[in-house]
Structures are given as C-alpha cells and as structure tokens.
Amino acid sequence: MIHVPEGMLDRLRDMVGGIATRPLLSRAPGRVEVLGNHTDYNGGIVLAATIDRFVWSLGIPAADPTICSADYQDLVSFSTESLSPTGMHRWYDYAKGVYWALLRRKQQPKGVAAVIHGNVPIGAGLSSSAAFEVSLTNLVAEISQLDLKPKDSAMAAFEAERLYCGVACGVMDQFTSQLGKPHSSLAIFCSTLETRDIPLSSDVSLVITDSMISRSAGDALNQRMIECQTALKTLRQAGWQISSLSDVTSDRLKLVDSMLDDKLAKRVRHVVTENERVLLGIKALQEGRVRDFGMIMYESHNSSRNLYDVSHPRLDLLVDIAKRQDGVIGSRMTGAGLGGAVLSLVESKQVSQFVKHVTAEYARETGQVPNAMACKVPGGVTVDPVP
C-alpha cells in the first residue's frame, strides 16, 4: 500500500492550484555503510544496506521544474536551459544538479511540480543527500518516460552531487539507495560498478546510533580525497602501474611506508586493508559466520580511527558502550566520520534492551541523548502512482 506522508498532497495542491493529473510518489531510502569506509572513491569495495528512513518526492508534470522542500519550508523554480555546476550545497542545488546530470546524459527531462520531504537524519552519515537525489531523479525519469536503466539513474544522482554540487563523494550512497534489495546488503565493486546482493540473516538487526555530533560530509571527504590523490600521484610518478589506491596489494605496504610520509602511508594502508576486510566480510556473511563478521567490524573501526583519522571521541565511546552489551555482534563508525553515527549488528531478540542500555549509558557519560534506531532493510527506490 502506498503511504504518502502527511501534508504532502495538500502542499502540492496549494502549489499548483489543484491536481488535475494523478501524482507519482518516489520513495528513496537512506543507507548505512556496513563495511568499506572511504574505499568507494578510491576504486575499492563497499558493503552497504538500505534503511527504513526515506526521502519522498511527490510530483506531477509541469512546464518548468518547481520544487518545494517541505522540511526547509522553501520553494524554487528554475529553467533547465542555463544550468551550470555551482559547487554549492543548498538543498535546491541538489535538485538543479539532478536536471543538469540528466541533460548531461543526453536525456530530455520534463519539468515537474514536486514536494519533497524526508526523515533521513541530516549530518548523521546516512546519506540524506543521496536519498534526495535518487528520489527526485526517479520521479523526473518516470514522469518524463526516460529510457534509463537503474544504474544510469544512480549515476545521474551521483553526478548531481559529485559534479554539480562539488561534494567529493563516491558512488556507494546513490547506488545503494537505487539498487538495494530488501533484507540484503549490497556489495559494490567501485572500479567496475559491478554489484552483488549479499543477504542478511533474519536473526540479526542493524542498529544505528547517532552521536548527535553533526558534520558536513564534504569537509572530511574532500580532505581525505586530496590526500589519497596525492598518494596515488606520488606512487604513479615512481613508476607504479596503478589506477587507484585499491590496486596496491598488501605485500607492497612496507614499500609504501618507505615512499610516502607517515600520514599518506597510513591513508594507503587503510584503503588496502579495508578492501581486504570487505571481501572477508562478504565471505563471512555468505557462510553464516556472523560472529566473524562482527570482529571485522571492530577492525574496520580501529582502522578508520588510527589510519584514516576520521573517527571522533564520541564515536569511539559509542563503539565501546555497544561492545559491552548483551547480544551485540559488532560495531563500527559508519559514513564519512568526524561525527555522525555508529552501526551495530545486534541479535534481533536483544535489540530493545541494546537500544535502551546504549542510550542510557551514552546520555550518562555525555549529557546528550543519542538517537538510536533499529532499522529494517527495505530495498531501493520505488515509484508508484498515488491512488
């Protein structure tokens, strides 16, 4: 059954003075990075899953794009004839970026009158911006009857953020929101854009705990991307035949240590070992070894903290608190870092007690009550006519 969030239909009617045609509702999920921290833009492997927090786009055809953000209480109209990348991160830049990316791909998107609303926490590392882009991309594509394959839609959404808005992101966020399957994680091999569905056991649940330390993803991503590009350039100038840091093998890491300064060498070591952890994690899930997967999650967190320097004392605290709880299988920071959220894999029967105790202990130690969410894995974007 199609659920239209409260107030969206009324707001659309107010925008257009009555709805003459049947609206479409596009619903795109947020995502949680299960393994593969900062590997996607380094040509590596990531494992992610959709979560049951969404961005909805409700719309009908229109002469020009007219987009209302119900959450920002703002409305923008624009022509598609003079769009050019802004490098800005205002909500409507992402909307303009969607049209720009579709036009760049030689598509002919029609205008829409749309209302957009989301409940993906902003600044928690759960890809609210990607859910926005995927939701709007699919709404526009459906209304315009564009000939787009799912990966094409995901790439258009990615290009809206990466190329139009200038955020140094990889493809994980948009691919997961577009392509994820219910009750399954999605492995993405970023150098080839190959994807695989890796089912999740019904005996375990994903619990995301927001540290309430918010940050802009672009800040950490941009700096780390520059560092990785510098390391890659240095290695290639030394004659290494590699197209990304993910082409470096673990047996060459000691040589990397001798060629790069300590900071850059640590960045490379993280990327190489994190890719190995993702492969081991995929194998563990496929073989039902969830305890082994949990240990890999802890190792991933340690690497993100010690080698990539993107953790935060509050994230470390949340992982430590989670590790002490009954039923926990593994825990790690997720997303760009320097704030945001921690993902814990928890025995399903223990989830309510886990959430209760983690919330209480974190609040006692920090004075802040975290937002702990037990998440279902709903699968990727859907577009449906509103009854």
Active site members: 173
Q: Closest by alpha carbon to 347, among 294, 281, 269? A: 294
The helix/strand/coil state of 8 is helix
Buried b (16+ CB within 10 A) or exposed e, 318-338: bbebbeebebbbbbbbbbbbb
Q: Closest by alpha carbon to 48, among 115, 131, 166, 168? A: 131
C-alpha torsion sign, points 77, 79, 82, 85: positive
Rounded Cα distance between 362 and 266, Å, is: 30
Helical spans, DSSP H, in the chain? 8-16, 91-104, 128-144, 150-159, 172-179, 217-237, 253-259, 262-286, 290-306, 313-323, 351-366
Q: Which residues does 356 contact at the CB level (< 8 Å), separation at least 6? A: none
**Which residue type occupies 39?**
T
Q: Which residues does 2 contact at the CB level (< 8 Å), separation at least 6? A: 25, 384, 385, 386, 387
Rounded Cα distance between 152 and 150, Å, is: 5
State the Cα torsion 138-139-143-145 to the nearest 10°: 0
Q: Which residues does 355 contact at the CB level (< 8 Å), separation at least 6? A: 207, 372, 374
C-alpha distances (whole Å) from 96 to each of 7, 103, 278, 304, 348 are 24, 11, 34, 33, 41
